[in-house]
Amino acid sequence: MSAGRRPDDLQTIQAVADAVAICNRCGNCQAVCPVYAETRTEPGVARGKVQLAAALLSGVLPVDRETAAAFSTCTTCMACEETCPSGVPVVDIVNAARAQIVEMRGLPWVKRVVFGGVKRPGILRAAADAAARLQGAAFKPAADRDLRRLRFPYGLAARRAYPPLAARPFARPGARRKASARPRVLLFPGCMVTYVYPGIGDASVDVLERAGVDVVTPPEAACCGVPLEAHGDLQGATDLARLQLDQLEGLELDALVAACPTCTSSFVHRYPRLLNGDPRYAARAQRLAARSYDVTSYLVDVLHAGPPPGRLEATVTYHDPCHLARGLGVTRQPRELLTGIPGVCLSEMREPSRCCGGAGSFSLTHQELSLAIGARKAVDIVATGAEVVATSCPGCRMQLADVLTQAGDSRPVVHTVELLAAAGHQRL
Amino acid sequence: MSSALVRALEGAIPKDRVLTKASDLLCYAYDATADDEGRVPDVVVLPASADEVARVVRIACDAGTPVYPRGAGTSLSGGAIPARGGIVLSTARMDAVLELDAQNHCAIVQPGVVIQRLNDVAAGHGLMYPPDPGSVAVATMGGSIAECAGGLRGLKYGVTKHYVTGLEVVLADGQVVRLGGKSTKNVTGYDLVGLFVGSEGTLGVITEATVRLVPAPEARATMTAAFARSSDASRTVAAIVAGNVVPATLEYIDATTLRLVEEYLHAGLPTDAAALLLIEVDGPPEAVAREADFVERVCREHHGEVERAADEEARERLWAARRAAYPALARQSRGTIVEDATVPRSRVPEMLAAIESIAERHELTIATVGHAGDGNLHPTLLVDPDDADLMERAHAAVAEIFRAALDLGGTLSGEHGIGSAKAPYLGWALGEGGLDLTRRIKAALDPQGILNPGKFAE
């Protein structure tokens, strides 16, 4: 038993105590867990983590660095939730455990510094700007695909191949008021699109405008908060949720769309949950949730967008991002958009919704595991013989490009909207 | 556990496969058995070869420390729980399909191979490995052989013991023995392979298995039949078998289960029915057509309302109710105790009646699905581990279910094994003579009692 711990010290994880209790330890999650497939150890899989949460609750397991490490080996891909006979909300439990540990032990200093910056848009922008200018010193270009490798090998990090930061961040803010009768859509770019893949932002604007809407972006490019919550910084994540709602307040919007499903799920699921009970924000979070969409589902389900005017002769395979397929239930819409492009032939890979191992910062904190999970995805992609890999998440795109590079493969990886935009301009 | 022992284990297998952190050990305290708190082991090892297994067992033997073989930890009678502390030996890293011999219709596998994976490999040769426990997507070959797992196809295809023809086993003193082989016929001495199948890890650690495969059926036909009276469903089962037709699947789903599944699935199930049968026949197309027509006729003659699947999509729909049975029950209560008392096929109606009256007497919800064709029923008690009174009634009911099955000429377990959960009742089934023989076999092979202690064999 840990000394001096009272039940009310554990409020954050107490909130999921009922969820922990419904796991009947059948072990079915072993069939689908991407982490378990690599580690083959029980702490890797959901059943193990739920039992560890139970042990935290009962005081058997101390809140220490070892416990924090045990809860860190999860990509939150939700595959276990989909297969669980009892409907255990595993990701909520993992996040609650991570948050509980941070509450009691604090954030490690590196994360404290980084998240401190992420929470303040101005600092984040300045840091990204400086990094974009200085990256030539730290990274050397990797072959193909515009990726770069770390110039100074810091352990395994040297193996990873990442795209360079954008020279000019994506931004396209508009007036606060509606200027035309056309629907007005806020494109929430998120950090990855803003600083790494501005092309996805440009393509989203292009495709949305062609479908007949006006597009604006938020006044400030700020993080949605998922990376903070994933590392247990619940307070930081909640602060960012409020910041986002504040800056969107008063904007005349018909819908909010994002090309990053993790950002989208923040607006659809996380903010209403984080701000539940907050008298100033709860109702606003709910209202915005009802109008928030992934860009592909907005194009198909709301705008009923027709095919692009151009043609694209290509065999394409599609990877389902976890937070889009399982988080938001969107799998049909991107496929409809892709197969709607004249000339495109869709070649499905084995297990298209299996996690690619990217999982945001997981790819940095657990590089070996992330690469091993991704290597399986690379094999499945290569087996399709497709010329182009499409996905609907900038994080997945970065991971897929990296693991294909690691596998010595150079086929392009793009976001669904980039293919649509390219077909619209009849180029690629 | 002494640090000397951990050091010895770290000398025997790579250090990163010897787990000693609290957060690791806690994850090996349990299996899928309800109503068992489990017990945290002192150390977990993940050997990668028979040689490494032998080294671990020799160290345990020298120290007199218990060893608990573990596959995927999906056992339902406590078989994988480290009841007395000691070493959990996970076979998860030994997961190679070593050979698929299409000519001899057999495969050689390491113990950590997941059953479904063997089937995926076999399917490439038009073959299949018939035992299919509900945990087929995660359970390992080693674990399912040690537990002699059954499944939904038992009536026609039998259970695990009918498919194992060869084993490599590490004995309690670390000696490695190879038993049987690829031959289908083999009467060379005692049936030593048979001794280890279903031995629940109490006699040795399985490190390799040779199993028989069969040609995968070319065709199948699936139907459900809903009955207003459960006696009609039982008579239908008897009439089908009396007609010398052996379906691959002949599942019974009772009214309680139907109601709970419908509340969960909203699939338009006949909730006014007293029982539903799910029947599947398989084989060559001509035989399947003939047998399916026969089965359908028999169902109708017994007032069954039949729905027959026209295509794969319809088949999936018919199977949905059976597949959803466990999730529906699991979501309905804080806990489930799944029993598997088994009776001769002809006594199934009496057993169903007995379960119903036991549920009533103890004011419990017991939902029963079962492999009606082979007499293997799964009365599932909906319980709450935090409700002491309810748990007490549940335990009394479980004992009465066992008693009833034995009184009908049946047995304690059809496919989940005895483990620790049913150990107190073993004497009821085996008698003093049978218990004594069991203990003498155990003492002969494992005189120190270090292999999976705390289970039925002591």
Average pLDDT over residues A131-135: 69
Q: How do residues B200-255 score in pLDDT, each as one tens digit?
A: 999 999 999 999 999 999 999 999 999 999 999 999 999 999 999 999 999 999 99
pLDDT at B284: 96
Q: Which two tokens stand for residue A127?
A: 């840091």
Residue-wise burial string across A11-49, b where 16 or more C-beta atoms lie within 10 A, e elsewhere: ebbbebeebbbbbbbbbbbbbbbbbbbbbbbbbbbbbbb
Report how many helices (DSSP H) and strands (DSSP E) chain B contains, helices first. 15, 18
Residue where a domain stops, chosen among A105, A124, A159: A105
Interface size between A and B, measured as CB pairs under 8 A: 88
> Would you call A389 helix, strand, or coil by DSSP?
strand
pTM for the model stands at 0.92
Q: How do residues B163-178 score in pLDDT, each as one tens digit?
A: 999 999 999 999 999 9
Residue where a domain stops, chosen among A105, A120, A151: A105
> pLDDT class for A159, splitting at 50, 70, 90?
low
Sheet holding B67-70, edge to edge: B18-19, B43-45, B87-90, B67-70
pLDDT at B148: 97
Q: How do residues B403-446 score in pLDDT, each as one tens digit?
A: 999 999 999 999 999 999 999 999 999 999 999 999 999 999 99
* A216 occurs within a structural domain: no
Average pLDDT over residues B387-407: 96
Tell me how far apart the alpha carbons of residues B349 and B224 are, in angstroms, rounded to a whole number. Answer: 19
* Residue showing tokens 């659809």: A268
pLDDT at A146: 57
Nearest to B91 by CA among B115, B65, B72, B116: B72
> Would you call B25 helix, strand, or coil by DSSP?
helix
Of residues B23, B74, B93, nearest to A66 (C-beta): B23
Residue-by-residue DSSP string for B221-254: EEEEEEESSHHHHHHHHHHHHHTT---SEEEEEE
Of residues A24, A27, A69, nearest to B72 (C-beta): A27
Minimum distance, in Å, between the CA of residue A84 and any CA atom of chain B: 8
Average pLDDT over residues B18-41: 94
pLDDT at A104 > cutoff 50: yes
Tell me how far apart the alpha carbons of residues B206 and B210 are, in angstroms, rounded to a whole number. Answer: 11
Q: Do domains B1-216+424-458 and B219-322 have the same CATH topology?
A: no
Residue contact A27–B32, C-beta within 8 A: yes
- Structural domain count of chain A: 2
Average pLDDT over residues B349-368: 95
Q: Which two tokens stand for residue A399?
A: 């991971």
Q: Residue B210 forms beta bridges with which residues?
A: B108, B166
The single-letter code of the amino acid at A176 is R
pLDDT at A144 > cutoff 60: no
Of residues A24, A42, A69, nearest to B330 (C-beta): A24
* A403 occurs within a structural domain: yes
Sketch the domain layout of chain B as residue ranges. 1-216+424-458, 219-322, 333-407
CA torsion angle A203 A205 A206 A208 (round to 10): 120
Phi, psi of B47 (to 5 degrees): -65, 155
> pLDDT class for A5, splitting at 50, 70, 90?
low
pLDDT at B294 > cutoff 60: yes
Centre a 10 Å sphere on the Cβ of residue A136 and count the other Cβ atoms it contains.
Answer: 12
Q: How many residues does chain A have?
A: 428
CA torsion sign for A312, A318, A324, A329 is positive
pLDDT at B251: 95
Average pLDDT over residues A87-93: 95
Average pLDDT over residues A102-126: 78
* A298 occurs within a structural domain: no
pLDDT at A128: 72
In this structure, of A42-51, B79-88, B341-350, the range with the lowest mean pLDDT score is B341-350
Tell me how far apart the alpha carbons of residues A205 and A195 are, in angstroms, rounded to a whole number. Answer: 16
CB B172 within 8 A of CB B201: no
* A413 occurs within a structural domain: yes
* A366 occurs within a structural domain: yes
Tell me how far apart the alpha carbons of residues A227 and A233 are, in angstroms, rounded to a whole number. Answer: 9
Q: How do residues B181-192 score in pLDDT, each as one tens digit?
A: 999 899 999 999
Query: How many CA within 13 A on the CB side of residue B289?
Result: 2
Distances (CA, A) of A216 to A120, A170, A220: 21, 12, 12
pLDDT at A7 > cutoff 60: no
Residue where a domain stops, chosen among A54, A76, A105: A105
Residue contact B22–A41, C-beta within 8 A: no
> pLDDT class for A160, splitting at 50, 70, 90?
confident
* A228 occurs within a structural domain: no
Average pLDDT over residues B313-333: 87
Assigned fold of B333-407: Alpha-Beta Plaits (3.30.70)
For B1-216+424-458, CATH gives 3.30.465.10
Tell me how far apart the alpha carbons of residues A427 and A311 are, in angstroms, rounded to a whole number. Answer: 9
Tell me how far apart the alpha carbons of residues B273 and B278 are, in angstroms, rounded to a whole number. Answer: 13
Q: Which domain holds residue A51?
A: 8-105
Q: Which long-range contacts (CB under 8 A, 24 or more apart) does A199-204 make?
A: A199/A418, A200/A170, A200/A259, A200/A394, A200/A397, A200/A415, A200/A417, A200/A418, A201/A170, A201/A172, A201/A259, A202/A170, A202/A421, A203/A415, A203/A417, A203/A418, A203/A420, A203/A421, A203/A422, A204/A257, A204/A259, A204/A295, A204/A417
* A374 occurs within a structural domain: yes
- Nearest-Å Rg of the Cα atoms of chain A is 21
Minimum distance, in Å, between the CA of residue A74 and any CA atom of chain B: 15
Residue contact A30–B19, C-beta within 8 A: no
pLDDT at B331 > cutoff 50: yes
Tell me how far apart the alpha carbons of residues B259 and B368 are, in angstroms, rounded to a whole number. Answer: 12
Mean pLDDT of chain A: 89
pLDDT at A361: 86
Q: Which long-range contacts (CB under 8 A, 24 or more apart) does B117-124 make?
A: B118/B211, B121/B97, B122/B213, B122/B216, B123/B216
pLDDT at A158 > cutoff 90: no
Tell me how far apart the alpha carbons of residues B120 and A80 are, in angstroms, rounded to a whole number. Answer: 21
Tell me how far apart the alpha carbons of residues A23 and B187 are, in angstroms, rounded to a whole number. Answer: 46
Residue-by-residue DSSP string for A294-315: EHHHIIIIIS-----SS---EE
Nearest to B393 by CA among B383, B403, B405, B406: B383
State the CATH architecture for B219-322: 2-Layer Sandwich (3.30)
Tell me how far apart the alpha carbons of residues A179 and B381 are, in angstroms, rounded to a whole number. Answer: 64
Helices (H), B243-383: 255-265, 285-301, 312-323, 325-332, 348-361
| CATH number reported for the structural domain that contains residue A331 in this entry | 3.40.50
B14 inside 8 A of chain A by CB: no
* A297 occurs within a structural domain: no
Mean pLDDT of chain B: 95
Q: Which two tokens stand for residue A216?
A: 């604006």
Q: How do residues A324-357 score in pLDDT, each as one tens digit?
A: 999 999 999 999 999 999 999 999 999 999 999 9
Mutate which of A58, A86, A98 to disrupt the B interface (most B C-beta within 10 Å)? A86
pLDDT at A166: 82
Of residues B30, B93, B138, nearest to A30 (C-beta): B138
pLDDT at A241 > cutoff 80: yes
> pLDDT class for B333, splitting at 50, 70, 90?
confident
Residue-wise burial string across A346-360, b where 16 or more C-beta atoms lie within 10 A, e elsewhere: beebeebbbbbbbbb
| CATH number reported for the structural domain that contains residue A62 in this entry | 1.10.1060
Phi, psi of B416 (to 5 degrees): -95, -15
pLDDT at A156: 44
